[in-house]
Amino acid sequence: MIDRPTDPSVSILVPTLDEIDHIDDILRAAESQSYDRGRLEVIVADGGSTDGTRAAVDRYESNIEVRLVDNPERHQSAGLNVAAEFAEGDVLVRWDAHADYPSDYVERVVDALLATGADLVGGRWDPVGLTRVGDWVAGAMQSRIGVGNARFAIDSVAGQVDSVMCGALWRDTFGELGGFDTTMRPAGEDADLSFRLRKRGGVVWFDPAINAVYHPRSSVAGVIRQYSGYGDAKAHMLTRHGVFPSLRPLAPVGLVAAFVGSAAVPSARRWLPQLVLAYVGAVLGISIARVPGSIARRLGAGFAAMTMHVSYGVGFWLATPKRIVNRLRTR
């Protein structure tokens, strides 16, 4: 067993690209952490923001060390790797700019790493929308209709999981894994890192005592882009590793395949309207029954869930041929 420090230093890694509306809140949250500030630093890896994000980091006055580094490749996985290269902490904690973190977040992350002996830990993310669409997406994420069996969104029991969102791990473990896969773009680097860690015998641990507030995308277009990116990422993982990291992707992938297959096969085409109606009815029915809030919010969450499902499935199928070709070229 590796001898770990009982009071590790911590580096918070924050990839940014045009996050002027969020960066001050992130830095204030880091500054308010209950963890020993002398053992805490923030590395902001910026992908070339043009909205004032970089200037906001430069002028921020803090009693913890905040460093701004360049991410020339612009996307998240590359930015996280760049930030990790500059990090000096024993523990790397990934933060998302679209989230709110309580003052004990880092303390709880370190406690979980030390108490469980896990290699990667993460916690529960409570979705809170900032717009009407964002609130609908948050409603969908509060039910299995939106996130399946993803424990980071719905569970309250600690234990081993297949992946965590924005996790924390020891810096030497991150180095042994080779960091995040920079070909995972625009999303999916968390799931890929967890998969590679588990494949070599590592433990990914979920602890609901570690919690943060996540702000979903605020527009329909943003949701479509985000979830089609998730589908693309799963196509990449399938062609790269030969398996899905979990069974969750099968639902949206199978759904879109069923719709397209029914439309394409003449003998099955007459069943397409019934299939679509059955799907819409099931999603809306579950949303009305399970999503908290008003009827309008429950219906909105149902439509948000359908947008998430279809975008994910379409993103997967559109990306699969490209990912297969890219995989063959690199062999």
Number of domains in the chain: 2
- Domain boundary residue among 187, 216, 245? 216
Are residues 167 and 40 part of one domain?
yes
Q: pLDDT tens across 270-292, in order?
A: 889 999 999 999 999 999 999 99
Task: Kindly report the CATH number assigned to the domain that includes residue 15.
Answer: 3.90.550.10
SS3 67: strand
- Read off the tokens for 31: 């500054």
Give the model's pLDDT for residue 175. Answer: 95
Look at residue 254 and tell me if it is in a domain: yes
Q: How far is CA 96 from CA 20, 268, 306, in A?
A: 13, 44, 25
Look at residue 272 and tell me if it is in a domain: yes
Are residues 247 and 199 part of one domain?
no
Which DSSP string corresponds to 207-238?
A: EEEEEEEE---SSHHHHHHHHHHHHHHHHHHH
Look at residue 187 and tell me if it is in a domain: yes
- Domain boundary residue among 216, 249, 280? 216
Are residues 322 and 209 part of one domain?
no
Are residues 278 and 147 part of one domain?
no
Residue 169: domain span: 10-216
Are residues 254 and 198 part of one domain?
no
Are residues 250 and 170 part of one domain?
no
Are residues 86 and 192 part of one domain?
yes
Give the model's pLDDT for residue 154. Answer: 61
pTM for the model stands at 0.87
Are residues 152 and 194 part of one domain?
yes
Question: What are the residue ranges in the chain where pLDDT is below 50?
Answer: none
Task: Say how many Å lie between the first and final Cα of the chain, rounded.
Answer: 36
Look at residue 227 and tell me if it is in a domain: no
Are residues 307 and 169 part of one domain?
no
Look at residue 295 and tell me if it is in a domain: yes
Do residues 66 and 27 make contact, with C-beta atoms less than 8 angstroms apart? yes
Give the model's pLDDT for residue 64. Answer: 87
Look at residue 229 and tell me if it is in a domain: no
Are residues 204 and 135 part of one domain?
yes
Look at residue 222 and tell me if it is in a domain: no
Look at residue 224 and tell me if it is in a domain: no
- Partner residues linked to 42 by β-bridges: 12, 66
Are residues 123 and 270 part of one domain?
no
Q: How far apart are CA 87 and CA 163, in angstroms?
A: 23
Are residues 163 and 23 part of one domain?
yes
